[in-house]
Structure 1
Amino acid sequence: MELLQIIILAAVQGLTEFLPISSSAHLILAPRVAGYADQGLAFDVAVHVGTLAAVIGYFRHQVISITRDFFRSWINPSARSRESRLGWMIVIATIPVGLFGLLMKSLVETDLRSPLVIAITTIGFGVLLLLADQFGKRHRDEYSLRWSDALVIGLFQAVAIIPGTSRSGSTMTAGLFLGLTREAASRFSFLISIPTILMSGGLLGLDLLQSEAEVDWLSISLGAGLAFITAYLCIHYFLRFIENIGMTPFVIYRFILGGLILLFML
């Protein structure tokens, strides 16, 4: 792979994985727009590993607390804490995407990767994000989530396996509709991305092990590193400014992107 191609694709994955604008859509569209050949399965695995490392690294203290208290509550139910409860909410929110992913994997990899599908979901879920941001009460934090709330967010996340929907965008939309603040909806979205990216990366890794394609270790190592850096910075600045800037800039971007896809790629 060319150096510029590695930089572009790694930056695209690192930025769009956590912004509410759909990483899958951008990874499908970027090679077409730039005129590059498909980056290959190994590179997709690498950039997923990079973004996974970024979100774990950024929330490392909370991840350790949640994991410790979650398993401690199994041994001693009386030792339940708000961190262990949040751990259960993350588990509940992850179940739907695991089931949907297994059932719809082949469909997502074929028919649902078309520009028309991406344009429709980009615009349609942009409208939902705008409505949630404008009309959500925004008075709750992620620790107030009930199991029913987590399940709703999980169902929204499951729908996001359709390219153009945006995993981050759909889960933030659900969180805002449920009354979470922008920052809380974003934090919970980032936390549930850990098991989700782990599962999707694991499936990609299994496909890679079963393929006979040669692996360009230099390219995928560089891609993983760049994806880590861009994703880490994205999470940091998104959480820092989201309460002030709101979701409107990302909605406008989605409308423009969807419109351009309809205009030039159909």
Structure 2
Amino acid sequence: MTHYEAAVLGLVQGLTEFLPVSSSAHLRIAGHLFPGAQDPGAAFTAIVQIGTELAVVFYFWNDIRNIGAAWLRQAIGRQHDPQDAHLGWLVIMGSVPIVVLGLLAQDLIETSLRNLYMTAAMLIGFGVVLGLCDRLGRKVKTLPDLSWRDGMIFGLAQAMALIPGVSRSGGTISAGLAMGYTRETAARYSFLLAIPAVFGSGFYQLWSSWNHSGPTLSVTATATAVSFVVGYGVIAVFLRMISAMSFAPFVIYRIALGGLLLLLLQERLIPPLS
């Protein structure tokens, strides 16, 4: 992989990570646009996501600092903000499903689940789910309404993003809408919930692949840096966008992309696995 190809993949990652369209699916597909087309791999995808997650940390720094401080103060028995401490515990609890399933299904995640037929099916299927949840959800609940039950449902929804095509934000936002949360609340909590999972997965893959074949460290760093810069801008635009419009454009896009991918696979223009 060249630095130019890595920059393009970083751009794709930054543009799609926070939208409910599945960044892992886009990276999986984008790898076929270059000479010697091939899957960038689950490890490369996880590492590059560190860049977009750093964008989340910078964008939501005040929220993260307040939640972390309140959680720590509660843990050591000091005076604290109960709502922020509660959010801290929910983020920890909600991260458990994706960690457990990620470790148990690691071989499947890196092989069979990256089959492009599966990716196409998830793009279409969860596009329909997102559309139904957005249309039928009550959209009245906000972060103070977040219960332990809701937090675990958010966590289980996030874990489904281990399958390319589901979308981390798409899965958690759909779950939030189905439970009656506003679009912006579901999106903001989705971003916060992803922080431990993405950093954990990214640094684990970075350590695991250190001495293995694959993209060089400098190439991966290029993609990660580009994804950070682009992702930071996308967060602000996306949060403003969903406060004024529905998720219908993303639903249409997901279904169209999934259909196009199925057509390309049927015509054998790209292989389902590489």
Range of TM-score over shorter length: over 0.9
Q: Does 1:163 align with 2:164?
A: yes
Residue 203 of structure 1 and its aligned partner are, at CA, apart by 2.5
Percent identity reads 40
Residue 7 of structure 1 and its aligned partner are, at CA, apart by 2.4
Aligned match of 1:67:
68
Residues 10 and 206 of structure 1: CA distance in aligned 2, closer, same or farther (over 3 Å): same
In 1, the alpha carbon distance for the partners of 2:47 and 2:150 equals 32
Residues 45 and 162 of structure 1: CA distance in aligned 2, closer, same or farther (over 3 Å): closer
Could you say what secondary structure the match of 2:209 adopts?
A: helix
Hey, which of these two has a bigger chunk of helix by percent? 1
What is the alpha-carbon root mean square deviation over aligned residues?
Answer: 1.9
Q: Does 1:183 align with 2:187?
A: no
In 2, the alpha carbon distance for the partners of 1:174 and 1:248 equals 16
Could you say what secondary structure the match of 1:246 adopts?
A: coil
Residue type at the aligned position of 1:65: N
> How does 1:1-266 map onto structure 2 within 5 Å?
1-35=1-35, 36-39=37-40, 43-44=44-45, 46-76=47-77, 79-209=80-210, 211-213=211-213, 216-266=216-266
> What are the Cα deviations for residues 169-188 of structure 1, in whole angstroms up to 9, with x where unaligned?
00000011111100000000
- After TM superposition, the structure 1 stretch with the greater mean CA deviation from structure 2, 181-190 or 155-164, is 155-164
Residue type at the aligned position of 1:175: G
What TM-score does the superposition give when structure 1 sets the normalisation length?
0.93
Could you say what secondary structure the match of 2:234 adopts?
A: helix
Structure 1 residue runs of 5 or longer lacking an equivalent are none
- After TM superposition, the structure 1 stretch with the greater mean CA deviation from structure 2, 69-78 or 127-136, is 69-78
In 2, the alpha carbon distance for the partners of 1:94 and 1:214 equals 28
Residue 105 of structure 1 and its aligned partner are, at CA, apart by 1.0
- After TM superposition, the structure 1 stretch with the greater mean CA deviation from structure 2, 40-49 or 87-96, is 40-49
> What are the Cα deviations for residues 39-72 of structure 1, in whole angstroms up to 9, with x where unaligned?
4677545522211211101101111111000111
Asked if the contact 1:46/1:223 (under 8 Å) is kept, the reply is: no
In 1, the alpha carbon distance for the partners of 2:80 and 2:46 equals 38
- After TM superposition, the structure 1 stretch with the greater mean CA deviation from structure 2, 172-181 or 216-225, is 216-225
In 1, the alpha carbon distance for the partners of 2:20 and 2:103 equals 23
Residue type at the aligned position of 1:259: G
| Alignment size in residue pairs | 265
> What are the Cα deviations for residues 202-230 of structure 1, in whole angstroms up to 9, with x where unaligned?
22113213x33376444333222211011
Residues 109 and 40 of structure 1: CA distance in aligned 2, closer, same or farther (over 3 Å): closer
In 2, the alpha carbon distance for the partners of 1:58 and 1:246 equals 23
What TM-score does the superposition give when structure 2 sets the normalisation length?
0.90
Could you say what secondary structure the match of 1:244 adopts?
A: coil
In 1, the alpha carbon distance for the partners of 2:90 and 2:64 equals 13
Residue type at the aligned position of 1:75: I
In 1, the alpha carbon distance for the partners of 2:159 and 2:126 equals 14
Residues 55 and 144 of structure 1: CA distance in aligned 2, closer, same or farther (over 3 Å): same
In 1, the alpha carbon distance for the partners of 2:43 and 2:158 equals 25
In 1, the alpha carbon distance for the partners of 2:215 and 2:32 equals 22
